[in-house]
Amino acid sequence: MSNSLSVAKTSLTESHILEELAEAATKNQGGTKAIKGIKGLKVKDIKRPNITISFHPEKGICLSVATEVTIAGKSFIGGTMEITLRSKMKTESNLKVSPEKHLIFEVNKCGVELLSCKTNLPSSMLPKIVNKFLNSTLAKVLPGMMCPAADKVVSIMAVRIEDMFVVNEIGDHGTMQYELDGLPDLDGEWIGLCLRPIFYDKDGKEKEISKEPPLSDDLPEKKEGSNEIILPVNILNALMELFTDDFSCEVTGADSPLLTVNKLAEILPSIKDTLPPSGKVKVEIRPEEPPKFSLAEGKSSLVIFPKVDILIHDTGRSILSFQMTHEWLTKFAVDDEKLKIEAYEVRTSDVRDFSPSVDEADVEALKGYMEDIVSSVCLPNVNKIMADNKMALPNMMGATYSECETSITSVKDALAFDVTPKDLPMDLVALADKFSHIQKKHHY
């Protein structure tokens, strides 16, 4: 994931850290005036900060925030004095894994560098004033003013990231949560997190996740500035175990006009004499094992292995049973920070193991017939259940999917998510005006 930059920007914006910094710059520090020789200070302008983040195995997360602030006040020599200050704060933060297998941030180094300091005074007055400003104020004020902001940014990021590890309900089917599976992988411009999902059924029993197949070497190339999330097929299959019973389906003539004894006799002549005179039959479709996802390049489907029973409606006596293999083509989307799974087409690939055995049967017609019945009755029901019981997607270092553009691609044995944060607006001109009013209130 590379979304830490977006989270840092969001943290600066949502927590009003910039506002606090600007206000602190115009207030007294430690009982002394913020800038000697200047009265009635207020913030005149703040430029959009330039925030960069890099990741190093030894140093951890390196955050750099370059800011430019213009402050103004009455000079002791008369008139208005403006000072435009450019500075850069650099921090290093360690990433650790807690005993609960959560992610922990710790700031272990912070420094502030003065890049430039300009005033509107005549050049003949600059050396004395600027030198006094640098010696008496900046060396003391800047680190004490900006480094606490680094702690705030990191603490806010930590709070947002903690959402990654909360227990999420999968509707009324169970719960799930993520935990870290090993230390984060830091490599220059990105951070890699391996998350292990844990699924619990509605009775609180943990579902075992099968060993994942090796990921393909043909994964989509990560785009600059985006996050890449890889969801292996074994995680989806563990999820589907919670839905196995929902794929059971009972179909009567009232549910589907396709289910008639005449049609059954046409496709399966061998059972013609055992069909009831009333003409009422029903079909029960029961999966004999949990559905499994089949994921390949540009294709995704659920593979289901049900047993099909054709029964006399009134008595429940079995007329015929057989095994079936069918595929439900599927598509994926993000809905309310969760994974939405929707099936849209049924394909029957095999019917076999008839009991009692049949001498003649139009197998291809039977496949098509079962596709029609399942598509019209079973599929809509399962889609509704899965829509009401969605799985929470991994938290992206605190950002939400609604703040991003997301595309989902099926690859061999996995889903690949490309998640690009949208630009987060920061109206710093409006903020500067707000700071001015704040200063006036304190000044008077």
Answer whether 154's CB lies under 8 Å from 93's CB: yes
Reported as a single tens digit per residue, the pLDDT across 172-219 is 999 999 999 888 888 766 778 888 999 999 999 999 888 776 776 777
Distance CA 73, CA 378 (A): 74
Question: Hey, which CATH number is domain 4-163+430-443, 3.40.640.10, 3.15.10.10, 3.40.50.2300, 2.60.40.10?
Answer: 3.15.10.10
Q: Quick one: pLDDT at residue 437?
A: 33
C-alpha 80/C-alpha 74 separation (Å) is 5
Res 23: pLDDT: 58
What interhelical angle do 4-14 and 17-25 show, nearest 10?
A: 60
Kindly report the CATH class assigned to 168-417. Answer: alpha beta
Q: Could you say which residues of the chain have pLDDT below 50? A: 1-2, 15, 29-33, 424-444
Q: 89: number of CA atoms within 13 Å, CB side? A: 25
Q: Which residues of 145-180 are buried (b: 16+ CB within 10 A; e: fewer)?
A: bbbbbbebbbebbbebbeebbeebebbebbbbbbbb
Q: How high is the pLDDT of residue 26?
A: 54
Report d(CA 105, CA 97) in Å as an integer. Answer: 9
Q: Where are the domains of the chain?
A: 4-163+430-443, 168-417
For the stretch 305-342, pLDDT in tens is 999 999 999 999 999 999 999 999 999 999 999 999 99
Please report, for the chain, how many H helices and E strands are present, in that order. 9, 22
Pairing of strands 318-335, 299-304: antiparallel
**pTM assigned to the model:** 0.76
